[in-house]
Amino acid sequence: MPLIESWVTSANSAETPFPLNNLPYGVFSVGDGPKKLGVAIGDDILDVELVCDAMPVNSDVLRDPRGWNGLMELGSTAWSTFRTALTHLLSANAPARPDALVPQTHATLHMPFTVSEYTDFYSGRHHATNVGTMFRGAENALSPNWLHIPIGYNGRASSVVVSGTDIRRPWGQLKGPNDEAPRWAPSQRFDIELEVGAIVGNASNGPISVDKADVNIFGYVLLNDWSARDIQAWEYQPLGPFQSKATATTIGAWIVTAEALAPFRCDTPTRQKPLLPHLRDTGPMLYNIALSVTLNGEQIAQTNYREMYYSAAQQLAHHTSSGCPMRVGDLLGSGTISGPERENRGSLLELSWGGKDPLMLADGTPRSFIHDGDTLGLHGAAEGDGYRVGFGACFGTVRPALEDPFRG
């Protein structure tokens, strides 16, 4: 499919992340004005409330204070009908409605939806192998279950923030050398994880198939799972990460729908061991999305979402397999997405090999983990023929730890 032309001329460039082929959903405000639902198109945002007469949904949905949850609740058929109406409204042969546009440079972006619950997976094979090698040695890098189930943990919806939110360096119990007594201090090994988050748009109550899970995913966002490695190394056994991952998780401000990504579907990598039947691939459910990480504007890694070993549909099917109910607005982090080479690593832990082999920045300084004042950015786009479907940047700046919060 080629670029679809719009009357919004900035949407017709091969470089814009937001052509008519994309139509990502966000929430914005201008000045002291209210939060409003918007759709990115070229350099602008379409204020959907101002075109509600042309939209095939109740106008309450387009004024939902929770964000895009209301549209999700209408179900998959309505998602598609709504997108078709938007495409017609913004296409080159429709009457222009410049009165319904706001320049992105004038807008502040907010959480695009209300997160019901948040789960984070560990489904990137290169990442799991790298981290397992560092934490447990090469022989025990992948636990015996890893090639059979998408490993995950239940995170905190309360910790999810939108791109642009400052992140405060956390305090925690830090592992001492050689399992000596831990100490209480600000994390010295604060890190990012480059991930893609899948948003559940249809609720379910009981086990669902991989095919059904695929249909239930409304869209995707970039996701940075901020991680305190020194807290994590001490606390993670035997129940997994806890405070090391609870400070914040940043998501991108734009939800790119599964429909917009459909032309970029691809298969998961070759299975090393056959999956049990209920988790087997039934079609291409991963996506070819180029991803990169910047540190203070300098690119330090680039990889691709297709490196995932499990698709979001497989993760969601597995999540429901015990009968776990899923809600509209549940967020599933993919797990850190690394690739086979050093420059493909999606965390500083891997890029600096635990601090043993620091990354060399362009100015010649070695770097292992995040410094106060650093701005970390995640970027992603699927590359089409003469157009791209972009996510917009997902960034956050790390601020110094506060004074000891327990010193009275």
Query: Among all residues, which ones are annotated catalytic?
Result: 127
Task: Please state, in angstroms and rounded to a whole number, the distance separating the CA atoms of residues 190 and 188.
Answer: 6
Q: Which two tokens stand for residue 227?
A: 């991680």
Helix or strand holding residue 99 (H, E): none
In the bound state with Mn ion, the residue whose beta carbon lies nearer, of 292 and 338, is 338
Q: Residue 55 Cβ, how far from Mn ion at the closest point, in Å?
A: 36
Task: Please state, in angstroms and rounded to a whole number, the distance separating the CA atoms of residues 377 and 357.
Answer: 22
Q: Which two tokens stand for residue 171?
A: 């305090």
In the bound state with Mn ion, the residue whose beta carbon lies nearer, of 124 and 377, is 124
| Chain positions contacting Mn ion, by CB under 5 A | 120, 193, 225
Torsion of CA 303, 330, 316, 197, to 10 degrees: 0
Q: Residue 395 Cβ, how far from Mn ion at the closest point, in Å?
A: 17
Q: Residue 203 Cβ, how far from Mn ion at the closest point, in Å?
A: 24
Phi-psi region of 195 (alpha: psi -120 to 50; beta: other; left: phi over 0): beta
- Give the strand order in the sheet containing 44-47: 101-103, 44-47, 36-41, 25-30, 107-110
Cβ-defined contacts of 350-355 (< 8 Å, 24+): 350/127, 350/130, 350/131, 351/300, 351/301, 353/134, 354/134, 354/229, 355/189
Task: Please state, in angstroms and rounded to a whole number, the distance separating the CA atoms of residues 396 and 177.
Answer: 30
In the bound state with Mn ion, the residue whose beta carbon lies nearer, of 250 and 268, is 250
CA neighbor of 361 nearest in space, from 347, 349, 351, 353: 351
Task: Please state, in angstroms and rounded to a whole number, the distance separating the CA atoms of residues 333 and 225.
Answer: 8
Report the residue count for the chain. Answer: 408
Q: Which residues, listed in sequence order, are joined to residue 298 by a DSSP beta bridge?
A: 295
Residues 157/151, Cβ–Cβ less than 8 Å? no
CA neighbor of 57 nearest in space, from 66, 48, 65: 48
DSSP 3-state of 300: strand
Give the chain's end-to-end CA distance (angstroms, integer).
63
Residues 53/95, Cβ–Cβ less than 8 Å? no
